[in-house]
Amino acid sequence: MLSFSFYPQNAEPGIPQTAEPDTLSVSEAHYERLARAGLARLVPFEPYDLNVDDELCNGIKAVKLSFEMRRKLLDFLEAERHKELLALFAECGDIDSMESREKLEYVKLLTNLYERIKNEQNRYFSPVD
């Protein structure tokens, strides 16, 4: 299982930590779908030194969620979620329950990512494998 982590502003070095990172678990299949949809091309992940559990961790691959980056990610996630919902609705009567469940779990992941990126308390976004 892979995950995405969201770090608050106080994860920056020199600022006392008051909250732990928010971590969202992601299946390998959904992680790959996000990559194929273009997440890796959209986000310039760079190494950052961040406080995690009151320890300085060097070189965490992340992106700083500036206003512009946050907007790009939200637009990407909304477009991907919309595309998936349209496909799911088009196939409603023709797919088995396991395939429907997989598609709904992916839409749920997109929604969870959207909510966390929209939350302005989160300053950094990082894939964790």
Q: Where are the domains of the chain?
A: 2-128
Q: Which long-range contacts (CB under 8 A, 24 or more apart) does 43-52 make?
A: 43/69, 43/73, 43/125, 45/126, 45/127, 48/124, 49/13, 50/7, 50/11, 50/12, 50/13, 50/124, 51/10, 51/11, 51/12, 51/13, 51/15, 51/17, 52/7, 52/11, 52/17, 52/20, 52/21
Q: Per residue of the chain (129 residues), give pLDDT as tens.
A: 789 999 887 666 666 555 678 899 999 999 999 999 999 899 999 998 888 777 788 888 999 999 999 999 999 999 999 998 888 777 766 666 677 778 888 889 999 999 999 999 888 888 875
